[in-house]
Structure 1
Amino acid sequence: MKTKLLILLYITFSIPAIAQKRLNIKDFGARTGLDFNNASIIQEAIDQASASGGGIVTVPEGNYLSGPLVLKSNVELHLEKNAILWGSAKRNDYTAGKMAIISAVGQHHIRISGKGTIDGQGRELVQNTLLLLRAGEIRDHEWLAKRPGEDNRTNLIYFKGCKDVSVTGITLKNASSWVQNYKECEGVVIDSMTVNSICYWNNDGIDIVDSKKVRISNSSFNAADDAICLKSEISAGSCEDILVENCTLRSSASGFKLGTGSVGGFRKVTVKNLTVFDTYRSAIALETVDGAFLEDVDIDGVNAKNTGNAIFIRLGHRNKDSRFSTLKNVSIRNVKVEVPAGKPDIGYPMEGPLPKVSPHNLLPASVTGLPGHEVENVKLENIEIVYGGGASKERAFVSLDALDKVTENEAGYPEFTMFSELPSWGLYTRHAKNMTISNIKLRLRGEDFRPALVFDDVKKLSLDKIDIPAESSAAAIIVKNVEGLKYQNSKAAVKKI
């Protein structure tokens, strides 16, 4: 209740009231049914509202088909309960620069609200595109390759360079690309939203790209790709002052992620109270691999079940220039994760892809930098992870006297399987500085021959209250090239190699 009140206050005081002039699209001639495109009619209502200083354009109960719409300053698009705005399933209704059902560029004080639904008909749109390609009616080299990039498929919402944005209450379904993209915006409120988009590849539930002052709360995301994803795509840009709280996430990629696109930076990101389930990759993934800074990230309260990986923190070097990413000041606490022995998203329409390098045993949480470019000031506190176990040396094996053979994979795509086999079952850390781990509890449901924790090339490591099963390996914690180890309030054996 307190959170919803704060969000309401944020909306009320940060976004000036939109003029209360109401325009019903039916008064402009809108028709229900999926055989009439209402795009020009709805656009006329939006244009009229904007020209008169602002207003609320209402979509009443019913099914309304539409092509691309452009939202304008001081206009609110309100979808009443049981109103569905269907995106056109005809590829020729979309042109360059208009690849979203609702877009806005450089606008201010814009809103989408209500209890209605926007359905992009993504599966049908893809089928129509393929038919036109095969018939030679359209030409597009990207579609004839593996699959087209995000810019060549349709978002439901695309806002760029906008200020004071609010999207609340609605349901978003079935995009053929990222569901919604807020790019280089400032002052964005997302609240009480439901996203269900699992009909095609790269269906991120929501993408925040180089935007500032963003609040995402009280929402649920079921996505074929990352559920909530922050990206930075330009060197002068960054995601800053971001709050994500009280959300439920399901993904055939990662639940909450910073990256993979990481050119500029990420700063002051706060995450609270997430529920994650049936997620193929990581519940939490923090990735900077294209030269970006990533700092001042605070995550508190994550409950994840049936998830392929708990925590993945990665500093890499995928960019071709000499810039290196930096990653520092990250706090993750009060996290519970259950990692199964099997694939957690089996049965969903768009399952996560099998690892490029296999086989491997169940993979641990990991915190990894690069030689000479360490992950700095990471704190893990009150963490509980239960693993399915079942590791086998016949499947894969990294000897503890051969830790140097674990690939750095400096330029690899960042995901928890990128190292193939890892030498521990609970947590693997390499190339880190000033790392603090306290009150961590690791459990196994099946046997695992590996030690629980491995630390390699770590400067200043504090371990406090490490709870590991007594039946695990005698050398439960392995340290190599670790300087300044502080170890207390724990019974697990530590072995230096």
Structure 2
Amino acid sequence: MRSLLLFCLSGFWLCTRAADKNITDFGAKGDGTTLNTAAIQKAIDACAGSGGGKVFFPEGNYLSGTIELKDNVVLHFQKGATLLGSTDIEAYRNLDPFTEGLGIDVGWALVVAVDRKNIGIEGAGTIDGQGSKLKAAHILKDIRPEGQRWGRRPFLLRVVRCTDVQVKDVTLKYAGAWTSHYFQSKNIRIENLKIVSVGVAHNDGIGIDGCQEVTIRNCDVESGDDALVFKTTSSKMACRNIKANGLRLKSNQAGIKMGTESMADFENIQITDCIIYDTRNGGIKLLSVDGAQIKNVIISGIKMTNIRTPVLLRLGSRLSVFRKGQDVQQQTGLFENVVLKNITAVSADSTQLKSASGILITGVPGHKISGITLEKIHITLPGGGAAGEAEAMVPEAIDQYPEVKTFGPVIPAYGLWLRHAQQIRVKDLEVVTKKEDQRPAVFMQDVQQAQLTQCSFRAAGTPASIITIRSSDAITLKKIKAAARAKVLLDADPASKEGVRYNEGR
């Protein structure tokens, strides 16, 4: 046994490299009060200068400002080790400034890598940004309104134009702004992360911004803002070839989101087998408003509970530019081959809208949202919509920030609302309400080439119709079932009636 132990220990040390460094050897102190920025950076630089390896954080609380990862360096956090972000805003640097979707200048970070390769963060330890304490200290010195000053606070982790990146096993906590932001990077693997980042605004969990060849697996995210969010803040590099699965997502905003920053495309993206729960905003939101094409996207095997507004798909024409002097305004984008299937959603009783709606899909005049398939989707809503809400006029909000509330306070359908849309295929959609709802189950306006097949709408009430269609053409309805005692199943205006084909299929 002793010989075996010696052999194993020998094997362990053979696996370490001469370039590996321990931050305490460079003067770092894990007392939670000593500022270790310079000591940690010296350890990283020495490791990189010796050909690369691991920089070890032993047990302790290591206070620091911005530290920069270098080529071939992995930060390894041993159990009980915590990198604490300083509460002094001046301890942070911005190595890649840009403007986010609300027009705020951002980019400061605690851990940052710019134009690096073969880097990583791993281990059983924690990176804690102390976001609430940082904010409290910040607002004592910065008297601007919170909506302007928040961008000065640091992200927890930023990876910018890097190749071969791995982040695994660690816990990321309490960022000052976004928790993790990966920009224009390739070959990224994110797995087994625990993220708890709440307490201040804009605490996005995992942010993928114009990255390619990305795998995200088995992460547990509790975020103050969007939990898993894809962005393209530059037109120069698409989000492409991305797979995410096995995620648990809790959020004060959306569970899964593409956009709003959406200049370059989102394509070849698969998100499967995820749980979304306790969101205070949407469950799944796909938003192209700055020129992006959203294409070849599959989201399947999703279970949502206690969420607000299960699905929002938006094609808009905000057309913002986020990297001033580096980019130009794009044309309005499009959707193509976007599939949502095998999804169950149970809405919270309180939602952003006056009366809850299940699926909102809208383009803008002259730019139809298209190429969308919804299949095997079951949604439970609170109900309670009044008859007068069926006549609601929904704002176009052509150039506005896209949110569920942007189209509120009332949507004229409880199940599926479609506007400025074409080539929409819906099969096996079931929407159930807990209380009576006097709105139609489906409302279409300016819609062409839409198919609804095997759909069931189980809301009690006496609405004027189950399906309302306005200014539309080439609409196919087949095997539609409804529980409500409606005056008519279909209410189509004269311009639409001739273009509707209805087959009970019973």
Q: Residue 415 of structure 2 contacts residue 457 of structure 2 at CA under 8 Å; is this kept in 1?
A: no
Aligned to 1:58: 56
Q: Aligned match of 1:76 in 54, 74, 77?
A: 74
Shift in alpha-carbon separation, 1:226–1:266, aligned structure 2, 3 A:
same
Rounded to whole Å, the distance in 1 between the matches of 2:82 and 2:459 is 56
1:422-441 map, 5 Å: 422-441=411-430
Rounded to whole Å, the distance in 2 between the matches of 1:368 and 1:160 is 33
Rounded to whole Å, the distance in 1 between the matches of 2:207 and 2:18 is 30
Deviation at 1:281?
Answer: 1.2
Aligned to 1:146: 146
Aligned residues: 452
Q: Which amino acid aligns with 2:25?
A: D
Deviation at 1:268?
Answer: 1.0
Rounded to whole Å, the distance in 1 between the matches of 2:148 and 2:217 is 31
Residues 53-105 of structure 1: CA deviation (Å, up to 9, x unaligned): 11111111222212211111101100011211111111221244382111110
Query: RMSD of aligned C-alpha atoms?
Result: 2.0
1:85-164 map, 5 Å: 85-97=83-95, 99-133=108-142, 144-148=144-148, 151-164=151-164
Rounded to whole Å, the distance in 2 between the matches of 1:43 and 1:207 is 25
SS of match in other structure, 1:488: strand
Rounded to whole Å, the distance in 2 between the matches of 1:196 and 1:80 is 19
Deviation at 1:325?
Answer: 1.8
Rounded to whole Å, the distance in 2 between the matches of 1:333 and 1:214 is 22
Aligned to 2:360: 366
1:177-188 map, 5 Å: 177-188=177-188
Rounded to whole Å, the distance in 2 between the matches of 1:68 and 1:158 is 11
Aligned to 1:328: 336
SS of match in other structure, 1:213: strand
SS of match in other structure, 1:127: helix
**More moved, 362-371 vs 214-223:** 362-371
1:3-42 map, 5 Å: 21-42=19-40
Rounded to whole Å, the distance in 1 between the matches of 2:341 and 2:330 is 34
Deviation at 1:215?
Answer: 1.2
Aligned to 1:297: 297
Residues 348-385 of structure 1: CA deviation (Å, up to 9, x unaligned): xxxxxxx6xxx732233111111221111100000000
Deviation at 1:180?
Answer: 0.9
Residues 129-158 of structure 1: CA deviation (Å, up to 9, x unaligned): 22233xxxxxxxxx6133336652201111
Deviation at 1:294?
Answer: 1.3
Rounded to whole Å, the distance in 1 between the matches of 2:18 and 2:73 is 10
Deviation at 1:398?
Answer: 4.1
Q: Aligned match of 1:339 in 336, 347, 358?
A: 347
Aligned to 1:13: none
Q: Residue 150 of structure 1 contacts residue 178 of structure 1 at CA under 8 Å; is this kept in 2?
A: no
1:132-281 map, 5 Å: 132-133=141-142, 144-148=144-148, 151-281=151-281
Rounded to whole Å, the distance in 1 between the matches of 2:18 and 2:456 is 59
Q: Aligned match of 1:397 in 378, 381, 389?
A: 389
Shift in alpha-carbon separation, 1:245–1:257, aligned structure 2, 3 A:
same
Rounded to whole Å, the distance in 2 between the matches of 1:26 and 1:162 is 27
Aligned to 1:140: none
Rounded to whole Å, the distance in 1 between the matches of 2:213 and 2:150 is 24
Residues 295-353 of structure 1: CA deviation (Å, up to 9, x unaligned): 1111111101110111100001112767212122100000000112225xxxxxxxxxx
Rounded to whole Å, the distance in 2 between the matches of 1:410 and 1:417 is 14
Rounded to whole Å, the distance in 2 between the matches of 1:385 and 1:375 is 22
SS of match in other structure, 2:422: strand
SS of match in other structure, 1:280: coil
Rounded to whole Å, the distance in 2 between the matches of 1:490 and 1:145 is 51
**More moved, 168-177 vs 21-30:** 21-30
Q: Which runs of 5+ in 2 are unaligned?
A: 1-14, 96-106, 321-328, 483-488, 494-506
Aligned to 2:284: 284
Q: Aligned match of 1:494 in 476, 481, 490?
A: 490
Shift in alpha-carbon separation, 1:84–1:463, aligned structure 2, 3 A:
same
Aligned to 2:324: none
Q: Percent identity?
A: 32
SS of match in other structure, 2:146: coil
Rounded to whole Å, the distance in 1 between the matches of 2:52 and 2:449 is 57
Deviation at 1:231?
Answer: 0.5
Q: Which runs of 5+ in 1 are unaligned?
A: 1-16, 134-142, 344-354
Residues 446-484 of structure 1: CA deviation (Å, up to 9, x unaligned): 111101111222211111111112734362122223322
Rounded to whole Å, the distance in 2 between the matches of 1:46 and 1:383 is 49
Shift in alpha-carbon separation, 1:151–1:187, aligned structure 2, 3 A:
farther
Q: Which amino acid aligns with 1:113?
A: E
Deviation at 1:204?
Answer: 0.4
TM-score by length of 2: 0.85
SS of match in other structure, 1:48: helix
Q: Which amino acid aligns with 2:146?
A: K
Rounded to whole Å, the distance in 2 between the matches of 1:387 and 1:267 is 31
Residues 416-453 of structure 1: CA deviation (Å, up to 9, x unaligned): 12111111011101111111101111101011110111
Q: Which amino acid aligns with 2:187?
A: G
Rounded to whole Å, the distance in 2 between the matches of 1:35 and 1:316 is 48
Q: Residue 263 of structure 2 contacts residue 330 of structure 2 at CA under 8 Å; is this kept in 1?
A: no
TM-score by length of 1: 0.87
Q: Residue 66 of structure 2 contacts residue 93 of structure 2 at CA under 8 Å; is this kept in 1?
A: no
SS of match in other structure, 2:229: strand
Q: Residue 18 of structure 1 contacts residue 74 of structure 1 at CA under 8 Å; is this kept in 2?
A: no
Rounded to whole Å, the distance in 1 between the matches of 2:93 and 2:271 is 37
Aligned to 1:350: none
Q: Residue 436 of structure 2 contacts residue 460 of structure 2 at CA under 8 Å; is this kept in 1?
A: no
Q: Aligned match of 2:405 in 401, 408, 417?
A: 417
